Amino acid sequence: MVMSMITNADRELLNETYRNANMAVKSIYSVISKVEDEDLALDLNRQVGKYQSIQDRAEDALLSAGHCPEPSKMEKWMLQASIFGKTLRDRTTEHIADMMIQGNAKSITETRKILNDNPTAKGSYCEMAGELIAFEQGNIERLKQYL
């Protein structure tokens, strides 16, 4: 395997893109069994494929440069506890859609901050992060129909 050099800005952006896509996949898997609306379940299942693709590309870029992706273990635990608690009280389609909208919005904000903080990151990595942001903006628009 040929290793390519990446800068700290590249690594930070790739890690953030990886983390946010990874958290989205985990969120969807955590909530999907609680979704009673078939259309919402289908929308969420479709989202997983795109998130997985972005996560895999960010991971591949990191690995090809000799870096392991840095998922947040604490975020995973907090995510599962939060989803469990929030869906224990309310499993309505509206509530689950709202939770997913909030997660997309948080990811957009986090990814945008990292993009802004790392203006020297490689263009293709910025494009990947931008693809994640655009995808999540589209998710929010689609999820609004369930509110």
Which CATH number fits the domain that encloses residue 108?
1.20.1260.10
Task: List the Cα angle 49/52/56 in 5-degree steps.
Answer: 140
Domain that holds residue 98: 8-146
pLDDT at residue 90, as a whole number: 79
pTM score, whole prediction: 0.89
What's the structural domain count of the chain?
1
- The per-residue pLDDT for range 66-88, each reduced to its tens digit, is 999 987 665 655 555 566 566 65
For residues 99, 78, 50, 141, the Cα torsion angle rounded to the nearest 10 degrees is 20
Span 12-21, average pLDDT: 95
pLDDT at residue 43, as a whole number: 97
Determine, yes or no, domain membership for 70.
yes
Determine, yes or no, domain membership for 99.
yes
